């Protein structure tokens, strides 16, 4: 009797910009090719990539150590910060554990959430804060947003008024968000600096140090009406700083890459700003992503997870999902993510990426 082994559907999707596709078809993917790694905002969706993060940062990139830009907003910056501070495996595991067991409920004030978020960040960084400043290989680049005018306030009436104005302005054009916020790019000082081409947003380039890096990471993940804006950051212009994903949700920036922008992402598409989620037509600029290899969980992989998707912030208050069940489902989702890492490393070994590439 002949047995036919069932072939499992791929766990990963691959999308490539035109220059990345050409490179992969001709040369495959080698660690030495990678010079930039973006990390999107998206809350607990980020922990659903733990296995892929560990494969990339603990197994793949160490094959060719060199200085790389890790560019993140919100949880993307927190993912990178944990792995730089405590090592890829330990840092990603702590982030997942902290998120899974976050004691959140819908009666918390924004001050309560700020407190537990700072405690969470302290555990993610451990004793490795100095590594964020002087790590020889990883150049952490944190994206935040500097609020302008009425958007600086955390008072409900003023904040909701600002948000109504922002939504209306963004409906006309993403560029109009520049009336309400400015981009902030924060990075260690003593290395080559990450820069982008000029766009509609005024961009502040600042440097972090031991005294302010935690404030910058908090600012990068400070969601309006969920946590207060971060103010009085040392060595920074006076102002109120908020979630970097408001402007750069999925990091659609004009990267000045000379090799491959390797992008482990929870979605197979790139949405420029958080407020662009309601517009299906607002996707990545192909010119920005010319050198990008986007790696994301496949639809068949997502369907196999307990919730049929990655963990989401709404799960904390989702009707019918109690905290015990949420913890069990999130824990299983994170454990399943090892499949993503295993598949990536297998493809690196086989160098068969070209067979699976899709265009942006």
User: Could you tell me the sign of the dihedral formed by the alpha carbons of 262, 269, 55, 356, in that order?
Assistant: negative
Q: What is the pLDDT of residue 7?
A: 64
Backbone angles phi, psi at 9, to 5 degrees: -60, 150
Exposure on the CB side of residue 107, measured as CA atoms within 13 A: 0
Please count the other Cβ atoms lying within 10 Å of the Cβ belonging to residue 355. 10
88 Cβ neighbours under 8 A, 6+ residues apart: 53, 54, 56, 57, 58
Q: Tens of pLDDT along 346-360? A: 999 999 999 999 998
Share of the chain above pLDDT 70, in %: 98
118 in helix, strand or coil?
helix
Q: Tens of pLDDT along 58-106? A: 999 999 999 999 999 999 999 999 999 999 999 999 999 999 999 888 7
Residue 257 has pLDDT above 80, yes or no: yes
Q: What is the pLDDT of residue 319?
A: 86
Q: Tens of pLDDT along 314-346? A: 999 898 899 999 999 999 999 999 999 999 999
Q: Which tokens sit at 261?
A: 């922008």
Please count the other Cβ atoms lying within 10 Å of the Cβ belonging to residue 189. 10
Q: Tens of pLDDT along 258-312? A: 999 999 999 999 999 999 998 988 999 999 999 999 999 999 999 999 999 999 9
Q: Would residue 53 be called left, alpha or beta, if left means φ above 0 and alpha means ψ between -120 and 50 degrees?
A: alpha
- CA–CA distance, 183 with 234 (Å, rounded to integer): 18
- CA–CA distance, 232 with 219 (Å, rounded to integer): 11
Q: What is the pLDDT of residue 360?
A: 82
- CA–CA distance, 116 with 108 (Å, rounded to integer): 10
What do you get for the CA distance between the two ends of the chain, in Å? 45
- CA–CA distance, 193 with 256 (Å, rounded to integer): 11
Residue pair 255/160 in contact (Cβ under 8 Å)? The answer is no
Mean pLDDT of the chain: 95
- CA–CA distance, 110 with 132 (Å, rounded to integer): 27
Burial letters 164-176, b for 16+ CB under 10 A, else e: ebbeebbeeebee
- CA–CA distance, 11 with 9 (Å, rounded to integer): 6
- CA–CA distance, 331 with 335 (Å, rounded to integer): 6
- CA–CA distance, 109 with 117 (Å, rounded to integer): 12
Mean pLDDT for the stretch of residues 27-34:
97
Q: Which tokens sit at 356?
A: 């699976």
Q: Which tokens sit at 325?
A: 């069940």
pLDDT band for position 107 (cuts 50, 70, 90): confident
Higher pLDDT, 105 or 124: 124
Q: Would residue 227 be called left, alpha or beta, if left means φ above 0 and alpha means ψ between -120 and 50 degrees?
A: beta
């Amino acid at each position: 009797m002949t047995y036919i082994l069932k072939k499992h559907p791929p766990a990963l999707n691959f999308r490539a910009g035109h220059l990345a596709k050409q490179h992969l078809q001709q040369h495959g993917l080698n660690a030495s090719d990678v010079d930039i790694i973006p990390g999107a905002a998206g809350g607990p969706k980020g922990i659903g990539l733990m296995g892929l993060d560990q494969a990339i940062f603990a197994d793949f990139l160490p094959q060719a150590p060199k200085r790389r830009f890790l560019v993140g907003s919100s949880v993307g910056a927190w993912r990178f910060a944990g792995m730089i501070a405590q090592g890829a495996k330990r840092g990603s595991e702590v982030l997942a554990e902290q998120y899974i067991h976050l004691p959140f409920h819908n009666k918390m004030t924004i001050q309560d959430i700020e407190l537990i978020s700072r405690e969470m960040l302290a555990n993610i960084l451990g004793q490795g804060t100095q590594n964020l400043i002087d790590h020889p290989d990883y150049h952490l680049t944190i994206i935040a947003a500097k609020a302008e005018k009425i958007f600086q306030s955390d008072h409900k009436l003023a904040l909701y008024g600002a948000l109504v104005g922002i939504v209306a302005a963004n409906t006309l054009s993403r560029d109009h968000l520049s009336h309400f916020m400015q981009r902030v790019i924060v990075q260690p000082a003593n290395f080559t600096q990450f820069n982008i081409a000029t766009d509609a947003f005024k961009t502040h380039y600042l440097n972090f140090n031991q005294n302010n890096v935690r404030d910058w990471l908090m600012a990068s993940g400070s969601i309006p009406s969920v946590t207060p804006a971060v103010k009085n950051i040392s060595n920074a212009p006076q102002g109120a700083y908020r979630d970097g994903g408001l402007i750069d949700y999925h990091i659609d920036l004009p990267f000045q890459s000379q090799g491959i922008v390797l992008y482990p992402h929870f979605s197979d598409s790139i949405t420029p700003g958080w407020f662009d989620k309601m517009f299906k037509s607002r996707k990545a600029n192909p010119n920005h992503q010319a050198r990008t290899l986007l790696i994301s969980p496949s639809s068949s992989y997502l369907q196999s997870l307990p919730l049929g998707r990655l963990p989401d912030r709404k799960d904390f208050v989702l009707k019918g999902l109690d905290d015990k069940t949420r913890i069990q489902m999130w824990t299983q989702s994170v454990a399943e993510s090892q499949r993503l890492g295993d598949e990536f490393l297998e493809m690196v070994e086989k160098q068969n990426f070209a067979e699976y590439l899709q265009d942006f």
